[in-house]
Structure 1
């Protein structure tokens, strides 16, 4: 009954009774059942309820784009953990020595202690059995059951010996295990798997419920007939959302298809809400929450609040009402489930989101006033108390508490690693608001999704939170080529005592899960959506991952947390929209763009020796350049869109700080800004803007000084040491340093010194490769 404890708090609404009754009827007749419905409707949960009620194990396989037939039925995999084989051998020998047939018939016999001697043990057992059958009357104290038990031990010993010698061995998949044991088998997100993979299961879905394992090989084809209690279920979301498709008609026809509607009945929602509150006095807020859900869903904003949002809101109130007060907890909960991530997946402009945020606040405050029956405290309506609004408020970061870290009133428990309280400025005005929203989201054990423009500090915020709070964080950069093997692991060859062997190698995500680390999935919407859906079991209430190759399920430890960062899909670059069924599992936080005051606070903290006027000019220049090129589009159209952000300002500060002549405030201009522009006209416009902002004429010379000797290469203000050896076969007389590439060469040398990534962009045969050589 592994799910009974988790499912005891389920509210049995009319919808849940209907769904459970229909599935139970399908189970009685052993009809495969397909549950189709929107995310958060309880499809997976009702399957777990059926498993708990029947007292039968439930095998769950999460499908994704790369799900293979072997994930269902099994396949050949390397023999793992040979120490377990040795232990099994010793246990069988111990059992054998304790049997009466061995004591009375065998006499004093020594057995090999190593599994390599298993065949000699089997031969000795055959001799004992032959003697017993010939002289049975001489051994009346031997029970007949010992004969059958010894035959079973013989078979097990032979199987163990074969297993110890083999490199690869057939391992049943979860479907075959469930068919043999009479368990339940759930195919979660079945529509994400390829049709050719699912069609392999057709014979299991027929009334005969058979499966032929041709993949196992051998002289005899193994045919499996399902145990009478075996039952197969499948779930999917309807087609139409990002990456979602319908099953083929042939496959759908083999299932009994049940539509699972979203829970929209007000009475059902209220009954769920009332039962979920931890205190009876909080149940009065059930009407507020349900009325808000109904009102917001009728606005048709592109975002629908579901039962998952309702449960998250109530869980947040239960956790925080003691320290926040019930009214504050209610409103903070609204920000957590909706208002913090209002623009994610809704295609709203920032001004529209701000207006909708204020409208939502007005509605919930009016509902709260009806419940309280008296005027509310005016502070409840102040957005700055919730990490929003334009007012700048000083925020105190509590780093010194031995057990907790955070910003009042939200704290997280510190980890076991040493806290690193440097390298990030939490007190910058916008940054402190962003951190407050993230800490609020971390009050619930749900994964957290951060979205914002490049350079606003999404990744560094999470990395710094981990450092300040003593947690280890594993950063995983996702891309279009990301595969489930990269995340969860695969079998790899390695050099062992007996030559080449294969062993399972944990993927970076599985490794982090086992260690209880934080995981940061960077550039989430660059990864294939159907691959990400393979992580659903980690992200929802199950908090586990099943590895078909190992036949094992790993539970997420309490310290394990998942964070994800992404840029808006509207910014292109291969970014995709993500389906509601995936986004619905995250607490979503929009990370605001940094403002001039934030830039100044951060730069002053990192470079205290640079003057205030210089820093403000750098920030003004950077912002003006962005406005001119991306908003007014005065110039810089070739090569756009551009992104000028904190990274550029910090690089400029670094170059000025490292310059031997600190009075030369234009030393950054060529490397950080000018070399990005693609035409002479655009570069001249940047020079004019610099002169306008800094009130000095930049000393960018058309011709750069070039100096080469045996030890170094000097171009302008940049120099680099030379090696005497060359690893490539290029004649030195083939490489001419032309005057036209000196500015680019100087910028490249500066990038090498600072450890910055450098990308060379230019027309065909413009000298990009020669410049690097």
Structure 2
């Protein structure tokens, strides 16, 4: 370890001369002189708002490992390569500030990099991005797209050269078809987005765990999701909270069902074996598990002896099944309840399958839960499932990567990660996009298919920046708090506008901005923002707003000018509901979101103001089923998502909560008095409320997407 320190110290004078000789002609020096490191300033980070992370020897070792492959004392290119890695490791956890730029230039001076080049890298550098069929290049990082065909041959068997060529050709064909048929999420390659994507890609290539820190809505999760999508890796997102348990990540003993029919039907012809399946079902329904296990073990041995099935892709799954059956047979012989078994958690499954895992809001988890990550965050580290009786760590698949996201501890209710866990990550701070040029690029990328003019793009950027300034000093929401407008708010507006649901580009812009920036404000702020939106986006407000919105089909009902899709229940007239002027105004805002946005809606107001009754009225009129959960300080997360309970036969089965039922069936759901619920519940619902509309159930390891 001491040798690394000597290497960096000796590098200063040795590389400075060669680096300076290869800079621009104005920066060349006489090579007969003795060259030393360029002058630099001492940097103090005490004034930095996010300097709580401790730089340790682990970061130095990480830098040496990154630079080892291309290290050369006489190469100026190598010096700049080391400079980029040093900035990633020692500076990128800081938000953009003067102190950060000073630190970057000081590191560059030690490596012989001139000040102008260091400042260009800190303020203007934008890496090139090239997505090929097999190789993805992002700046200095190159990644290989995951091959599903080659991953099927994990049993170590050697393939012939002809088979490899055939697989490679098939894989390339599949990717070409996928690129033309699959619609990817919009990702704008601004300077900040490209830079953070490059840093993540470098970490992926070196198997380093990544921690992204930044305010809400700056693009932390979307960057990881986009990279996983382009490299064809499955990304498992786990939302952490104070109720997150070690068993959610590692696994634990949970009720299971004995069902092997799916694997049997995938390997053999189901129609030809219908008689066997009927007998199998009879034994299963009668609870004769010992007969089932003996039969399945015998069937496994037949599969292994069958030469025609030796190269079948299902053979590894049969081997896994045989091992499980033998364990169950041992449990039966010892009269152990086989309805309870150890089920690996999402983190362990990702380790063994080579999938990527993202731990969102990781700083909300308890220190005890995070301790299980300490060994996994080490290079080639894994975890030992002691609860299952294992003494050897789980085999870590080479493609496994772990990511984490968190908000800074400056937010109310947020806390910092333990130092021992945080220092194991390669940490990056994600700044928010503020420059006009890249905000214009963002708007143009989202609205590329609408034919929007450059003048309108500029107007939207200026409107967004004006609303951001007003939200900090002048605007108020319904509870007299400052509204929070972020990049997520703008992107949500652009995404809705790109769907072109309102007939014209101006009406699309108007409705989408009103939906995202207007509805939460008090009457005075509402009037101010409405005038700003009309003046910025509408050339002739009266003509544009007088046109009726197009009807999208016969299965729609109009509410205050907006069309809402009908449900499966019988429509009710609700003649008893009185529509006053204020109620009609609230109904218009509500109908706009339900019709155009299809986003989660938060209604704020005093008691008995008609919040719940307004939703109930729209649901009854449109024939949509509406469920309701009354929250309070003792409401548990299991009441929303579900828990294990005994069924009519006395077996433990997972009973879905009201929220899960609503997501699967496409129902409406009212989370009444949501402000009384604990922060644990709110953080667990985080991914349901954002644009992903997903909910991961750790107990059953099932991902639900709202219909």
Please give the TM-score of this superposition, normalised by the length of structure 2: 0.64
Q: CA deviation at 1:215?
A: 2.1
Partner Cα distance (1:63, 1:270) in 2? 34
Structure 2: runs of 5 or more not aligned: 1-145, 147-174, 274-278, 284-288, 474-481
Change (3 A) 1:155 1:275: closer
Partner Cα distance (1:434, 1:524) in 2? 20
The answer for the alignment partner of 1:440 in structure 2 is 592
Change (3 A) 1:7 1:46: farther
Partner Cα distance (1:10, 1:465) in 2? 35
1:534-568 CA deviation, whole Å, 9 max, x = no partner? 112212222221111111111111xxxxxxxxxxx
* Among 245, 256, 270, the residue aligned to 2:440: 270
* Among 357, 382, 385, the residue aligned to 1:213: 385
Q: CA deviation at 1:258?
A: 0.4
Q: Do structure 1's residue 52 and structure 2's residue 229 form an aligned pair? A: yes
1:216-231 paired onto structure 2 within 5 Å: 216=388, 218=389, 220-231=390-401
Structure 1: runs of 5 or more not aligned: 99-109, 133-138, 344-352, 387-395, 558-773
Q: Do structure 1's residue 421 and structure 2's residue 573 form an aligned pair? A: yes
Q: How many residues align?
A: 499
Q: CA deviation at 1:143?
A: 10
Q: Do structure 1's residue 503 and structure 2's residue 687 form an aligned pair? A: no
Change (3 A) 1:145 1:178: closer
Q: CA deviation at 1:206?
A: 1.8
Q: Secondary structure at the match of 2:652?
A: strand
Does structure 2 retain, via aligned residues, the 8 Å contact 1:415–1:469?
yes
* Among 512, 515, 520, the residue aligned to 1:341: 520
Partner Cα distance (1:475, 1:112) in 2? 39
Change (3 A) 1:430 1:357: closer
Q: CA deviation at 1:486?
A: 0.8
Q: Do structure 1's residue 548 and structure 2's residue 698 form an aligned pair? A: yes
Please give the TM-score of this superposition, normalised by the length of structure 1: 0.58
Q: CA deviation at 1:224?
A: 1.6
Does structure 2 retain, via aligned residues, the 8 Å contact 1:125–1:154?
no
Q: Secondary structure at the match of 1:406?
A: strand
Computed over aligned residues only, the root mean square deviation of the Cα atoms, in angstroms, reads 3.8
The answer for the alignment partner of 1:475 in structure 2 is 628
Does structure 1 retain, via aligned residues, the 8 Å contact 2:241–2:364?
yes
Change (3 A) 1:127 1:516: closer
In our comparison, the structure showing a higher alpha carbon Rg is 1
The answer for the alignment partner of 2:487 in structure 1 is 307
Does structure 2 retain, via aligned residues, the 8 Å contact 1:273–1:283?
no
Q: CA deviation at 1:466?
A: 0.3
Partner Cα distance (2:378, 2:669) in 1? 42
1:639-689 CA deviation, whole Å, 9 max, x = no partner? xxxxxxxxxxxxxxxxxxxxxxxxxxxxxxxxxxxxxxxxxxxxxxxxxxx
Does structure 2 retain, via aligned residues, the 8 Å contact 1:424–1:464?
no
Q: CA deviation at 1:426?
A: 5.0
Does structure 1 retain, via aligned residues, the 8 Å contact 2:560–2:584?
no
Partner Cα distance (1:223, 1:426) in 2? 66
The answer for the alignment partner of 1:241 in structure 2 is 411
* Among 318, 322, 326, the residue aligned to 1:158: 326
Q: Do structure 1's residue 515 and structure 2's residue 515 form an aligned pair? A: no
The answer for the alignment partner of 2:528 in structure 1 is 359
1:360-404 CA deviation, whole Å, 9 max, x = no partner? 3444444447xx5xxx45688x9xx99xxxxxxxxx9x99x9622
Partner Cα distance (1:127, 1:244) in 2? 55
Q: Do structure 1's residue 42 and structure 2's residue 219 form an aligned pair? A: yes
Change (3 A) 1:377 1:8: closer
The answer for the alignment partner of 1:85 in structure 2 is 260
Q: CA deviation at 1:94?
A: 7.9
Partner Cα distance (1:122, 1:552) in 2? 26
Q: Secondary structure at the match of 1:475?
A: strand
Change (3 A) 1:267 1:415: same
Does structure 1 retain, via aligned residues, the 8 Å contact 2:636–2:681?
yes
Partner Cα distance (2:591, 2:654) in 1? 36
Partner Cα distance (1:456, 1:120) in 2? 65
